[in-house]
Structure 1
Amino acid sequence: MAYQNLTNPSYSADAAPDTGPIKVFSDMVHSYLNLVQRNDFPPAFLEQILKTPDNINFNTDQIKEVLMYEVGYLVALAIGVVFIVLMSLVGFCFACCRCCGNCGGKMYQKQTKRINCKRRFQYFFLLVVTLIILAGDICAFYSNSKIDTAVNNSFTSFNNTMDNLKTYVNTVPQDVDIIINSSSAPIDLANSRITDIGPVLGGMIKKDIEAVANPTLDSVQTLVNNLNATQQSLNAMNGSFNALVEQQNQLVTNLTALRQQINNTLSSCGSPCSSGPSIEDLAIDANFQNVPDISQSQKAIDDVLNSRIADTIQKARQTLNDIPQTVTNQTKTSVKDVQDQLLNIQRKIQDVRGSIPIVDTLATVNSYFDMAMNYSHQYQADIVKYNYYRWIVGICLSCIILLVVVCNLLGLLLGPCGHRAHVDPTDRNCASNCGGDFFMAGAGFSFIFAWLLMLVAAVLFAVGGNVYTSFCKPWSNQQLYKFVDANVNLSKQLNINVSNLSISSLYSDCEKNSPLWSTLNLGSMINLDEYLNISAYTGDVNSTLENTKIDVSDITFMSNSQRDQVTSVTTSGVDALNFTDINQQMTKNITKTNLISFADQLDTLADSLSPGSAMDELRNESIALRELQNSIDANLVPAIKNLNTSISNLQAKTKDLPGSLNVTLANIDSAQKYVETNVSGIVKDETRAYLNTILGYFESYINWAKAMLTTNLARCKPVAGALDSAEVIVCQYLVDSFNAFWFSLGWCTIFFIPSIIVSVKLAKHYRRMKNGDVYETPNDHLEMATTSQQFLIPRPTAKS
């Protein structure tokens, strides 16, 4: 039987996980967060909160437990707070000192032998630090954009995931209906077989009976054919004998008359004819008058052939051919009862659908999906709007870092452009001085905004880091599923009375694309063997057909009278007819002397006589003998040959006739006994085989339905795909991008410290100094101050 295929829905593509450089950067963030949070998940306090959500009362021990769990984050936040405080304090002090002309605020640079080497080292060191900050700022820009893209695309991905789940959930009842409705296939096929019970069951019975009856009927037909052939041979032999006797009698008459004439002629001729031939040889030598009596055999065969045995054979064959119609006529009532029982079977199978609670449960689950999608549409506009504000703030923060980077890069670009190694610091050109000013501007901006950037990074770190370590990380390694399993009764949530149902096992099975039956362990709740047990109804079909009376035993191969007549043929002696005398006679000459030779002698005698009446008579009689011989050759000889052929054919046919007739009679007796004793058994056996065929349709369907329900129905790969998509959307698209942003801010802010130090030091090499040194040699120089009076040439002064 061909059953309808289950639905094969098409699903939208699942959210693809991040790959490439962003994946490498995310792994860096994950490594840092794993270093910060090294405690195992889940914390004990979280389990207690979930178990008693209505009675949350944190005592000292619980607070201590929370702090111990968050110790890594607290340490990191403490470092951030110290950074904010110290950076602000140092920046304030630095600004005050420089305003007072201290801390490098004096516009004077001491010239040393290694000043060029220091400048180059500081230049390349600041260049590396600036590039590192620039790389972090690029990551900040990209992460900020990635968050925006993730927020905007997450709604589409979320809707696609929900659509996939709804499609999956909707296919379950459809597939269940397909499986249940496929019961019409065996019902229709069984009904068709029941409707055609005559041709089908009758044909089966007919085939079995014909296996014995047809060879027997064929042997009876062969018997009739043999008797017909034997009868024809007897008639042919009898006709040949009568024709031969008639020819012989005619020959005797003619030969006797001719002999008397010759005798009279010879007697009247007297002494001249005394030397003539003896007329005693003109007589018949072979006598065909003695033929065996075949009348008894002929009568016996005629009696058989006239007993309407051909009609008996035809009637038997017609009875066999009428078996299908006989079965149809005798099972009309049973067929109607069986058709009613088939309807009961179909109703029983249809009731199975209502016994599968998962169908109604999935309808409830579908409502949750609709609710989630409604919430998504409801808050989408607000989320997009506030995300835009967040994006602007992220751009501003990234631009602050970019401002410092630009100042450093301008300083690195302009500083060397106007710098000359042997030019007095007080005479440095404008480009070099601008480069130094940009270095100081970058350091100033770093002091001004470092606390803000670190504050933002710390707050985002506390939120995003905890979301990753307490939610995304256990979600990725499936610890979250085990935690939910330990604290949430999934069976109760789904309203399914199934034990040992867990999200972990559900996800694991769905990853393997297992069917819903094994995934939800529905076998412990639904006994399919009980629901699909239709043996009571099939038993009614069985008993109805087995109790149906089917009688096809009215088959007669040969009546008793016909059998007696055939037996009389075997005892008629048809095979023992004695043709010895006839055969001996056929070996003799027809006449004692050859008539042609006798005629020649008469001609010779006539030639010796003088012309006269005697000579003419002898010549005439010689001609008559020759004509008579020609008549013998033309008529009697062929008649003898025909008789010989007829006897040979008859003997060939009658030689084994009694034996073959006895064998045929034995076969008829055996076949008749078989029909009389075994036909009822054949009817029962074939009825049982017919029933097994019909019931086999239902057994095949039940096995197929069980296989479909337990191994093919609702393979839940889309569920695992939906969970994976949710993890990708929430954790990789949103949380990882969020964490990458604060990590980039923190990265850049930390490198502000070496950037400030090196920028301030490098600025002295490029800014125009107000005080300079006097060089004694090209390589050595001494510090000089414009305010010093030590080496001034004395001038005369006028005294008043």
Structure 2
Amino acid sequence: MWGWLGRRVLASCCLSSFFSQLLRYELGFLVCAAIGLLFIVLVPLVGCCFCCCRCCGRCGGRMYQKQGRRTGCRRRALYGSVLLVSALLLAGDVCAFISNTRLSQAVSGTFPNFNATVDNLGTYLTSIPQQVNFVIDRSDVPLGRTNTSLQNIGPILGGRIVSGIRSGVDGALGSLQSLLGATETLAAAFGTINGTRGRLEELQGNYSQRLGDLRERLGQTLQRCGQPCGSVSPDGVAFATNYSTIPSVEQQLEVLGEVLGSGLAGDLEKVNSTLEKTPDEVQKQSRDVVTKTQDKLGLIREEIRSLRQQLPLLEVEENIGNAMSNATSVLADYQKPVTDLDRLRWSVCALLCCLVLLVVLCNVLGLLLGPLGLKESALPTQRSCLSNTGGDFFIAGVGFSFIFSWPLMLVVLLTFLLGGNSYMFVCESWRSQQLFQLVDTPGLIPGFNLSEVLGDKSGTVNFSQIYRQCQQDAALWQALRLDQRVPLDELLNISQYTEEISAAFEEVNITLSPISLLNESQGDLLLNASRAAQPPNFTRILEQLDQNVTLVSLQDLAAELEQLVDKAGTDVRGDLQADAANLRELDREMQASFPGLLQSLKENIYLAQSRAAQLEAQTRTALDQANETRDFLGREMVNIIKNETWAFLEEMLDFFNTYIAWAKSSLRRDVARCKPIAQTLDNVEAIACDYLLDSLNAFWFSLGWCTVFLLPSIILAVRLAKFYRRMHIADVYRDEAVEIGPAFNMYRIPRPSTRH
């Protein structure tokens, strides 16, 4: 209440200041009006007196002109003065006629310009509901995203839960799978060693008999050869290594076989399968909360859409639209009478301009005809008709000036009071924004109340503030201070529904199948296997494997036998050649069988040694990670499910929080930017001031200019007319002597005398 009283007192002070300035300003108008009234009254009276005076032969009415030496100079001076005044009258008359025409054009153009301005404002007002609907309809975005998230809660929430679990499981799972891979590799290496050992023993058994037979035959041949073959010994035809001495790895294979047959790989695959089924489990277990949340989304949609009926912007748009419609209808009703009245006004003003033009025409004809008919040598009583006619035109112009001066001044006075006061009340007060104070004062303008138009019951909105903010293209919500009338935060408050959605998610209890990487017995089995699977000592056998298969090279021995063929007797040459051929054949067969097996045996021994050396450390690392994972799952699995569920909920609610913040910001700062309203008011001010009042003021100023210059035109035309009109009385010169002195008594100076 105190605030309202304060605003009323402030408005009263502003109005008193405005009216005091108005009175000071009107004082000048009153002085000018008094001068105009004196002109209207005195000029006709002076004209009447002037006519009576001239009829009595006074005031220049006596048709006599005294001649002198300066008569020509005076005539030329008066001629130039009348010419100048006539030019000024003509210029003012032309300006008055142009201003009169422009005023008519402004009046006729006011209605379409105003209608175009109203149409532009109507377009702006029509866009307000569209912008509001756009903001409200954008709520479909968070609603749609939330609904999509709910429909895909299994892949989304389940995927996040799986990611959280895998962050603690994948390390141990990968280590165990890598350990199983190493175990399989080691078992394969041991299996290859065991198989190669058996194959070598089998081959050695097969070739040992053949080597023995060949060694025996070769010994007999060398004995028969005698001394030439004494350097060759058959003892080297035997295996260099006994392959049956290769250590057995049956125990290691048995231990590793127990590990591989314990089903650990299946258990690890079951863990992956359980994690892959988690999204389906989440989708299945969250059906109820999804249904409840979707019901709440429907209520939120209805709550946001009901905002259309609660926002005051639509009410303001309707009130302003109704006011503009009323203004348009009233203007349309007055359009025909105003245009008809303007045609009459234009005709009257054009007639007044023609009256001034008539005076100018009389002066111009006098200025043309007078000098053309005037002869310097002719007496005033003998002036020509042409010169006399020029003088008569001057007198006619004087008469017209006396006759038409008072209606001209009357029109000037009326248009001056109308145009000047209108310009002061509307244009000047608009630019100084004092007019806005009048609009803000309730009841000062009959039938207009700004608060009612804007739907403001508090009375805190004032026109000047709205205009300034609209010039800065502020939003209508901000310009009208709608936050003081409408609690936007409460209108867009959906916390009730979000709390119910949160409560529904609190009831969600997602349980997953237990995840176990390995049990205690499997851990003991892996640890024991890593110890028992260490390979036997292959050092000695590896040294033997690096040697030749036989004690001597069979190819070299065959070459020596072939060299002995020429030295031996003819009875053993054939046997030596046959033995050499047998050696080469046997060597080719053994080279085809043994080197590949021996190379494979060495490679697998090295592989088994390298893998077995890392197996125990790798096993301990994998078991430690498995224990940590077991502790992690027991400690964090429930928290992971809970945290990811709340993160999913917060992400959904964040859709609405982001939309609500954007909607508030849009309604307060972006929707219905009111610069078109300021432009509409500026257009109305331009129509009223720049077109109508400027043309009206230019007209009365131009016509007043002409009226004022009629006075010097009267005086100068009366004076100049006597130099061109034919006089009735002339000067008479007598021949009488004037005695000036003794020396000059012979000269006679003529004396003038009047004659009739």
**Fold match (TM-score > 0.5):** yes
Is the 1:276–1:605 Cα contact (8 Å) retained in structure 2? Answer: no
Q: For 1:670, which of 605, 617, 628 is the aligned residue?
A: 628
> 1:403 maps to what in 2?
358
Q: 1:414 to 1:651 in 2, by over 3 A?
A: same
> 2:755 maps to what in 1?
786
Is the 1:361–1:495 Cα contact (8 Å) retained in structure 2? Answer: yes
CA distance in 1: counterparts of 2:555 and 2:22, whole angstroms: 154
* Superposition pairs of residues 396-545 of structure 1, within 5 angstroms: 396-486=351-441, 490-492=450-452, 494-545=454-505
DSSP 3-state at the match of 2:755: coil
> 1:583 maps to what in 2?
542
- Structure 1 letter corresponding to 2:690: Q
> 1:125 maps to what in 2?
81
Q: 1:599 to 1:177 in 2, by over 3 A?
A: closer
- Structure 2 letter corresponding to 1:712: D
Structure 2 spans left out of the alignment, 5+ residues: 1-12, 444-448, 736-748
DSSP 3-state at the match of 1:765: coil
Q: 1:776 to 1:532 in 2, by over 3 A?
A: farther
* Superposition pairs of residues 754-773 of structure 1, within 5 angstroms: 754-773=712-731
Of 760-769 and 469-478, the range deviating more from structure 2: 469-478
Is the 1:288–1:585 Cα contact (8 Å) retained in structure 2? Answer: no
Paired residues in the alignment total 726
Is the 1:454–1:746 Cα contact (8 Å) retained in structure 2? Answer: yes
Of 544-553 and 105-114, the range deviating more from structure 2: 544-553
Q: 1:516 to 1:603 in 2, by over 3 A?
A: closer
Q: For 2:291, which of 309, 326, 336 is the aligned residue?
A: 336
DSSP 3-state at the match of 2:726: coil
CA distance in 2: counterparts of 1:605 and 1:475, whole angstroms: 140
CA apart distance, 1:631: 4.7
CA apart distance, 1:516: 0.9
Q: For 1:147, which of 92, 100, 103 is the aligned residue?
A: 103
CA distance in 1: counterparts of 2:497 and 2:584, whole angstroms: 100
CA distance in 2: counterparts of 1:149 and 1:532, whole angstroms: 53
DSSP 3-state at the match of 2:95: helix
DSSP 3-state at the match of 1:668: helix
Is the 2:315–2:455 Cα contact (8 Å) retained in structure 1? Answer: no
- Structure 2 letter corresponding to 1:586: L
CA distance in 2: counterparts of 1:274 and 1:760, whole angstroms: 179
CA distance in 2: counterparts of 1:537 and 1:640, whole angstroms: 79
Q: 1:655 to 1:111 in 2, by over 3 A?
A: same
CA distance in 2: counterparts of 1:465 and 1:367, whole angstroms: 32
CA apart distance, 1:776: 9.5
1:224 and 2:183 are equivalent in the alignment: no
CA distance in 1: counterparts of 2:586 and 2:690, whole angstroms: 134
Is the 2:158–2:278 Cα contact (8 Å) retained in structure 1? Answer: yes
CA distance in 2: counterparts of 1:540 and 1:459, whole angstroms: 76
1:184 and 2:140 are equivalent in the alignment: yes
Is the 1:205–1:682 Cα contact (8 Å) retained in structure 2? Answer: yes
The percentage of counterpart residues that share the same residue type is: 38
**CA deviations over 1:735-782 (Å, ceiling 9, x no partner):** 3333333333322111111000000001111122223335799xx986
DSSP 3-state at the match of 1:571: helix
- Structure 2 letter corresponding to 1:572: A
CA distance in 2: counterparts of 1:396 and 1:325, whole angstroms: 98
CA apart distance, 1:258: 4.7
> 2:740 maps to what in 1?
none
DSSP 3-state at the match of 2:532: coil
* Superposition pairs of residues 245-644 of structure 1, within 5 angstroms: 245-258=201-214, 284-486=239-441, 490-492=450-452, 494-552=454-512, 554-574=514-534, 576-587=535-546, 590-591=549-550, 628-629=586-587, 631-644=589-602
- Structure 2 letter corresponding to 1:332: R
CA distance in 2: counterparts of 1:263 and 1:630, whole angstroms: 21
**CA deviations over 1:141-168 (Å, ceiling 9, x no partner):** 1222223222222122222233233333
CA distance in 1: counterparts of 2:451 and 2:230, whole angstroms: 145
Q: 1:730 to 1:622 in 2, by over 3 A?
A: closer
CA distance in 1: counterparts of 2:271 and 2:550, whole angstroms: 58
Is the 1:248–1:636 Cα contact (8 Å) retained in structure 2? Answer: no
**CA deviations over 1:412-448 (Å, ceiling 9, x no partner):** 2222222233332223223222211111100011111
1:111 and 2:67 are equivalent in the alignment: yes
CA apart distance, 1:240: 2.0
| CA-based RMSD | 3.4
CA apart distance, 1:625: 5.4
Q: How high is the TM-score relative to the length of structure 2?
A: 0.87
Is the 2:75–2:723 Cα contact (8 Å) retained in structure 1? Answer: yes
Q: 1:439 to 1:332 in 2, by over 3 A?
A: same
CA apart distance, 1:81: 2.3
CA apart distance, 1:261: 5.6
CA distance in 1: counterparts of 2:323 and 2:225, whole angstroms: 153
Is the 1:514–1:717 Cα contact (8 Å) retained in structure 2? Answer: yes
Is the 2:253–2:533 Cα contact (8 Å) retained in structure 1? Answer: no
CA apart distance, 1:483: 3.4
Is the 1:283–1:591 Cα contact (8 Å) retained in structure 2? Answer: yes
1:158 and 2:114 are equivalent in the alignment: yes
DSSP 3-state at the match of 2:510: coil
Q: 1:198 to 1:767 in 2, by over 3 A?
A: same
Is the 2:533–2:612 Cα contact (8 Å) retained in structure 1? Answer: no
Is the 2:95–2:699 Cα contact (8 Å) retained in structure 1? Answer: yes
DSSP 3-state at the match of 2:705: helix
Is the 2:282–2:510 Cα contact (8 Å) retained in structure 1? Answer: yes
Q: 1:782 to 1:687 in 2, by over 3 A?
A: farther
Of 190-199 and 417-426, the range deviating more from structure 2: 417-426
CA apart distance, 1:560: 4.7
> 2:53 maps to what in 1?
97
CA distance in 1: counterparts of 2:715 and 2:152, whole angstroms: 103
- Structure 2 letter corresponding to 1:241: R
Q: 1:392 to 1:617 in 2, by over 3 A?
A: closer
Q: 1:438 to 1:660 in 2, by over 3 A?
A: same
Is the 2:320–2:453 Cα contact (8 Å) retained in structure 1? Answer: no
Is the 2:222–2:230 Cα contact (8 Å) retained in structure 1? Answer: no
* Superposition pairs of residues 727-766 of structure 1, within 5 angstroms: 727-766=685-724
Structure 1 spans left out of the alignment, 5+ residues: 1-39, 48-64, 788-800
CA distance in 1: counterparts of 2:232 and 2:23, whole angstroms: 167
CA distance in 1: counterparts of 2:563 and 2:118, whole angstroms: 139
> 1:682 maps to what in 2?
640
DSSP 3-state at the match of 2:243: coil
Of 724-733 and 321-330, the range deviating more from structure 2: 724-733
> 1:650 maps to what in 2?
608
* Superposition pairs of residues 16-55 of structure 1, within 5 angstroms: none
DSSP 3-state at the match of 2:730: coil
Q: How high is the TM-score relative to the length of structure 1?
A: 0.82
